[in-house]
Structure 1
Amino acid sequence: MSTFAELWAQLAPVGRDPGTGGYLRYAYTPAEALLRDWFLDQARGRGLAVEQDGNGNLFAWWGDPAAGDAVLTGSHLDSVPHGGAYDGPLGVVSALLAVDELRARGFAPARPIGVAVFAEEEGSRFGLACLGSRLFTGAVDPNAAAALTDRDGVTLAQAMGAVPAGARPDLLARLGCYVELHVEQGRALVDLDRAVGVATAIWPHGRWRLDFRGEANHAGTTLMADRRDPMLTFAATVLAADAEARRLGAHATIGRVQVAPNATNAIPSLVSAWLDARADAPDTMEAVVAAVYDRAQAHAREDGTKVSLTAESVSPETEFHVGLRDRLAKVLDGAPVLPTGAGHDAGVLSALLPTAMLFVRNPTGVSHSPAEHASDADCEAGVRALADVLQELAC
């Protein structure tokens, strides 16, 4: 039976940028394809039957999924730009090792156990987070998804080689529950001195595109008084997002921007920026977005520019199944329960079946960064915890 360190070492070099130490594992790229091939080899080496759903998602089965009421676990393999190693792959590796652990215990599941790899969870390539699970559950229209483009103009259909299949009620009907293990995105478990925790809920969150339009002109000849510079409106909006989030006790981030014509000696004509907003209640999140847009419009009037706001992905508050959550916490000897501000495939699936999440301690508290980390010992503890949970649910 492989140890966590042995299996983890096989993934470590794939998609790693030597300059930043972060990972570039975007959906349907060579790096992510290598990871998917690795998963297929690992699953088949364990005698697990593998199937695909037509949406880029992979499922490996211990037992016959046609029996129904299956216990599903897993996560994703893609990353944010220059992200950490653990966000996503930890859940996949831990799921495979949990199967090994259960077999070593001599456990024979009465319910089928599945290990899932969901596609494009981060939304880093095509802009829509949890795209694979949204397609699988029918939350996204497959034709609309097929037309999504990456930054190079490649559509999802081109990247996949087909239009996504969309909702798969036949496969969903097999599932009884879903449990996702994930690296903690924060540092609560450090302060609680626990290696593993259980999730209570996912904050409402979303992504909005702001388009600031002005007039392209020469940087050296255009008088300051004559400029219609959308970069000024954009800059003021970044500060407004920070101020409004702090005022309302929420989170707001503008971490991505595109500029046209993007020349050093030219006043831009268009600045597009993406606002990520999250809060502990939907009304608060909506209030943050509304306040940021109001302030952007006010600055646009002062700057002689225009601004528009487009919602690209909005997810409501997700409270995980209380009975399942409490059952997991009890199995894990009273593991602490924690909320999260991050979105996950478990949140998407929760609309259709009981879901829960386990978190493995992250000593740095940092995520979506090369500094994201979990010790091998804590990861081994996560594997054992997941095995305990799967044994409880599949007996």
Structure 2
Amino acid sequence: MRALRWHGKQDIRYDTVADPIIEHPRDAIIKVSACAICGSDLHLFDGFMPGMKSGDIVGHEFMGEVVEVGKENHALRVGERVVIPFTIFCGECEQCKRGNFSVCERTNRNKDAAAKVFGHTTAGLFGYTQLTGGYPGGQAEYVRVPFADTTHVKVPDGLTDEQVLFLGDILPTGWQAAVQCDIEPTDTVAIWGAGPVGQMTIRSAILLGARQVIAIDRVPERLAMAQAGGAIPLNFDEESILDRLNELTAGKGPEKCVDAVGMESHATRSIDAVYDRVKQAVMLESDRPHVLREMIYVCRPGGTLSIPGVYGGLVDKIPFGASMNKGLTWRMGQTHVKRWTDDLLNRIVQGQIDPSFVITHTVGLEKGPEMYETFRDKKDGCIKVVLKPSFS
């Protein structure tokens, strides 16, 4: 089969690899009908996430048709269409029983390495470093899905791939980011980053009843999409975010702040940009926490910081004293995808949300390597890329 593989920093290749096979009775093999490049894939592309190995198949947002099922997997049948959550979960451990699927205690087959880095193991993830299990990802023609009897979302008849594909990551990620805010009808929700996760967070915050939603970015196409979704767009290259947030909240600051950017954020002030890029270059800091600093500063006392943006290591110069003295609540984590998908699928069926609005580019899988660069650099108005193996 053909697949996209990581061979080093900014080196994604369209390679021929061995077809996956059933390795455990709970497995299934999926013929991929659609997959996507996620913003967190760019952290791998840019070389910021530890634990990648040359030849790793990338991608964690995918769906397709079941073509083979392990003998102990009684939940799936050949021919069914499924979306695969990026978090692999057993459904049986203590964390899974609590709905904390992204910290499943059993699915990370490199759990000892993860525990050394994070203190405890986290769940296995598709296509996302050896620290999360080293599982081959979904930017491929076929994928072996471990724990497939639990790790799947069945697709009802009548829905297109484009409507449901993002149930595997960005839609539940944006939803969880908004839910973590405990939104009240009087709240202003400020969202840093109007990329795909930010766009889903905007729609989620509005569905959950926020009084006003503010989107902070600098890419015109992203800001236009955010405004079309009901947010007030702010361009941090053209105006003071502090001044505008004060203006929009009568000087009180937003009650809820969402970091939908993560470790590669850009500074609104040049001194921050220079500081973090220098420390990152000499390996004294792995992540750029510009957004975290700004959220702490502008958030209303007693407010909440929700962090769906991915961080991989160490950050510096966080004004933690301000956060403590303002009584801010931090809520974060990889998405517990399956916790949200039943509700979100029902909302798609009912027409409350159609996640396909975010797609700007659909191409064959073989064009994946060039689309990584297009997506990263926001060329050609690119906001979200869908890859179709059948186009190849």
TM-score by structure 2 length? 0.24
